[in-house]
Amino acid sequence: MLIFDGHCDSLSSPVSGECSLNVRDCRRQLDFAGALGQIAIQSMAVFVDKVRREEIVFGDFLSLRERLLQAVAGNDQVKLVTSAEDLRSQQEGSLGVLLTVEGAEVMEGDLANLERLYALGVRSLTLTWNNDNFLASGNESQNDHGLTVAGRKAVNMMERLKMAVDIAHLSSKSVHDVLKMVNNPVIDSHGCCRALCDHPRNLTDGQIKGLASTGGVLGIAYVAEFLHEPYQEATIDDVVCHIAHVADLVGVAHVGLGSDFDGVDYPLCGLEDVSKTTDLIDRLARKGFHQAEIAKIMGGNFWRVYQQILA
């Protein structure tokens, strides 16, 4: 079964600055050594963790990209995925890595840098992190203005370039603006359902329906705070419940996995690291999903969306 995880922060983890992604390190939830045999395709985000977001520069992206390229070059079982053909040719037992960017601050306010990101292998962009930036309002915005003029231009450019638009971390109005203007499927790479857990990072049922109307996919995050209140009681079963909610609401074709490994504050009980990923298969079967449905959830849906966007 092809497993496709829509988001992790392992590339940006401080541990990855000390220890190659090719080495299994218990301080990290995901690395190449742990993912091989578990994951077929892993989206790996460049996230620049600076408190002052205005200090982020394009060079920060380049440094993290170089970290990834060095690790890929040192492992003949790992390859960078940049095209639909790369997706189709993915071999069982190997790992395909899809490079993404979380937060457009690396663009330094210049839309020309979006084309540079694409040329350097980026195939998805989360327009904001929690904060506002020159493209859009983030989910913690105090003044939700939605997409800016530059943001609308960026979305159009991304569709022309064949890059996935990721609405994770966006404000309500920004999500609305994106969904109203796109022609291609939209993703939420790592989020959950507001109806089950009232967290501002989660999508409402209306937003999930809008996402599904584009043909897109919501990747359910293994983030305790997004899954259950109180978060201390969250487990793998809550992930299954959020998956089931999306499937019941809009169909099984619009939900997948978005672990957010190495971007979480508290490892989730039952999904503490990448080695537990396949445990979801049995849990989904117990919930009543058939094997063909489980295959879509575990990876087929994200594969379909990226195949369509990159083609």
Cα–Cα distance for residue pair 35/201, rounded to 1 Å: 26
How far apart CA 111 and CA 238 sit, in angstroms, is: 39
Give yes or no for residue 92 having a pLDDT over 80: no
Q: Tokens in use for 94?
A: 């190997």
Mean pLDDT throughout 110-133? 98
CATH number of the domain at 68, please.
3.20.20.140
pLDDT at 43: 98
Question: For 101-112, what is the mean pLDDT?
Answer: 98
Enter the tokens of residue 305.
């969306």
Q: What pLDDT is stored for residue 163 in this prediction?
A: 98
Give the total number of structural domains in the chain. 1
pLDDT band at 8 (very low <50, low <70, confident <90, very high): very high
Using omega within 30 degrees of 0 as the cis cutoff, is the peptide bond preceding 267 cis? Answer: no
Which tokens is 294 given?
Answer: 């489980």
CA dist., res. 78 & res. 97, Å (int)? 7
Instruction: Say which residue the tokens 């022309």 belong to.
Output: 160
Query: Which residues make Cβ contacts (< 8 Å) with residue 170, sequence separation at least 6?
Result: 127, 128, 136, 137, 138, 139, 178
Angle value at C-alpha 115, between 112 and 121, nearest 5 degrees: 145
> Is the per-residue pLDDT at 162 higher than 80?
yes
Contact 297, 243 (CB under 8 A): yes
| Separation CA 76–CA 79 (nearest Å) | 7
Is the pLDDT at 93 greater than 90? The verdict is no
- pLDDT at position 152 over 90: yes
User: By residue range, what is the domain housing residue 211?
Assistant: 4-310
What's this model's pTM, rounded to 2 decimal places?
A: 0.97
Average confidence (pLDDT) over 119-137: 98
Which range is least confidently modeled, 16-30, 81-95, 179-193, 257-271? 81-95
Query: Is it the case that residue 252 has pLDDT exceeding 80?
Result: yes
